[in-house]
Every structure is written in C-alpha cells, then in structure tokens.
C-alpha cells in the first residue's frame, strides 16, 4: 500500500531573547545619549541659551541636524541658512520612517510619538533584529533611553558651559564636531560610504572660505548623489 509521505511542519524561527535585544538597545542608547553633553556645550558656545538648547533636543531630537544648526550659528551664519542645512540633514529620517513603518506596524495611536524617535540609532537597532517583536522592543528601548539621556545631558552640558564661562578658552567649542566625527567614523564600512565622506569633506572645507556659514554644509550634501552617479557610470 502506497502511503502519502509524512508532512512535518517546520517550526518558525524564534526571535532573539528579550534580554539580548534590551542589552544591545541600552548599549546604543547610553553610548550615544551621553554625547548630548557635547551638544549642550556647543550650543552654549554658539550663544544659544539653555532653554533654547533644551527645546532643540526635546523637539528636534536628531543629533546631526542639531550640531549642524548650532555649528553654522557659531560661525556667524544666517539663521535661515543654518536652519535649511539642519532641515536637509534631517530629511533622511523620513526615508527611515518609510522602512520602519512596514517593519514595526505600530498601532495608529502611537505612530505620531514613535515618529519622533525615528533616527539613525533606533533604525539601526530595529533593522538588525530578526523578527517584528524584537524590532519593536529594540526600537522602543533605544528610543526611550536615547531620548531621556540626550535631553538630560543637553541640560547638563549647557549649564556646565554657562558655569565655566568662555567655552573657546577651554577648547570645548571643538567638542561637538569631534563627537559627530566619532559617531560617523564607525558607520563608514564600504568603499562607497568612505568616498561620499571624503568628497563631502573636500566640498565642505573647499567652500568654507568663500561661502557664508551654513552653505558649505548644503554643498557637501551633494557628495552622495555625485558618488552614486559616478558608481552607476562605472557599472
């Protein structure tokens, strides 16, 4: 008698243990959140009040854009130009949101709050997870930890800078750019990413002496499409 072959269901792969996801998310949140201190110091050195610096961290909450804004203001740039540079840097978060909306599928009620936490670090942690449950947990823990620490350290940095007086005399005006470069360097893993960074550096520094403060940042943003265009031509 011919019998049908036995069909065995393959169990679905289990997600990562919650403890591992929380550990990784906390590590990213704490490491990056502490750099809010550098933003607070940089903002104070640019002439921004403690209240304004804290409002930026609470309402903007995207480190690269915040550093770009206060950096342009510190260099004497036009506020509108500085804001434009910060805005264009922040538009990348909209593309992150498109990907995360499909991955996380959060309830409609919490989407507006979750959108405020869509930044480089939360996106990286969420996308590194093997399933939706772990992605949601990683996103939430990273976002909450980073948001709280970033805002607390922004306040401490701004208050500390006001207490010590002239930040340039202590060399603290270089803290913001140094922290930004330290966060960026580990992300440059491919030849394309390194080429974009190198070209952006050349463009930014090259136009710095001849254009108003804040404008070289916008020019440097052209490095990404330029490198991708050249890569497409070669392929």
Q: Does the CA dihedral 102-108-113-115 come out positive or negative?
A: positive
What is the pLDDT at residue 230? 85
State both tokens at 189.
């893993």
Four-point Cα dihedral 182, 187, 191, 193, nearest 10: -90
Q: Would you state the pLDDT for residue 126? A: 94
Token duo for residue 221: 């943003």
pLDDT higher than threshold 90 for residue 142: yes
pLDDT value of position 180:
61
Sign of CA dihedral 95, 101, 106, 108: positive
CB neighbour list of residue 130: distance below 8 Å, 6 or more residues apart: 13, 15, 16
Question: What pLDDT digit, counting tens, does each position of 166-225 carry?
Answer: 555 555 555 556 666 666 666 677 888 888 888 988 988 888 788 776 677 778 878 888
Nearest to 204 by CA among 195, 194, 213: 213
Residue-level pLDDT at 164: 65
Q: Exposure pattern of 71-93 as b/e (b: 16+ CB <10 Å)?
A: bbbbeebeeebbbbbbeebbebb
Per-residue pLDDT at 201: 84
Is the pTM higher than 0.85? Answer: no
Q: Is 170 helix (H, G, I), strand (E, B) or coil?
A: helix
Per-residue pLDDT at 181: 67
Query: Does position 165 have pLDDT exceeding 90, yes or no?
Result: no
Task: Write out pLDDT tens, residues 69-104.
Answer: 887 787 777 788 778 878 887 888 999 999 999 999
Q: How does pLDDT run across 21-66, given as a tens digit for each residue? A: 999 999 989 988 888 888 898 888 888 899 999 999 999 999 888 8
* pLDDT score recorded for residue 9: 38
Nearest to 116 by CA among 64, 58, 63, 155: 58
**What pLDDT does residue 183 have?**
61
Structure tokens at 3: 């019998």
Q: What is the C-alpha separation between 66 and 41, in angstroms, rounded?
A: 12
């Amino acid at each position: 008698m011919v019998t049908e072959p036995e069909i065995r269901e393959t169990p679905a792969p289990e997600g990562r243990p919650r403890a591992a996801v929380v550990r990784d998310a906390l590590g990213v949140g704490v490491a990056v959140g502490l750099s809010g201190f550098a933003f607070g110091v940089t903002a104070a050195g640019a002439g921004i009040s403690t209240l304004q610096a804290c409002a930026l961290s609470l309402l903007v909450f995207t480190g690269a854009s915040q550093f770009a804004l206060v950096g342009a203001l510190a260099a004497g740039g036009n506020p509108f130009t500085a804001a434009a540079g910060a805005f264009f840097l922040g538009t990348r978060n909209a593309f992150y949101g498109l990907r995360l909306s499909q991955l996380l599928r959060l309830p409609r009620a919490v989407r507006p709050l979750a959108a405020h936490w869509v930044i480089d670090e939360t996106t990286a942690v969420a996308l590194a997870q093997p399933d939706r449950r772990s992605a949601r947990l990683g996103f939430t823990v990273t976002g909450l930890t980073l948001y709280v620490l970033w805002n607390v350290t922004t306040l401490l940095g701004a208050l500390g800078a006001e207490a010590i007086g002239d930040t340039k005399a202590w060399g603290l005006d270089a803290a913001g750019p140094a922290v930004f470069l330290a966060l960026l360097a580990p992300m440059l893993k491919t030849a394309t990413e390194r080429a974009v960074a190198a070209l952006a550096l050349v463009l930014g520094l090259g136009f710095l002496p001849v254009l108003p403060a804040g404008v070289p940042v916008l020019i440097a943003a052209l490095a990404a499409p330029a490198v991708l265009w050249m890569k497409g031509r070669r392929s």
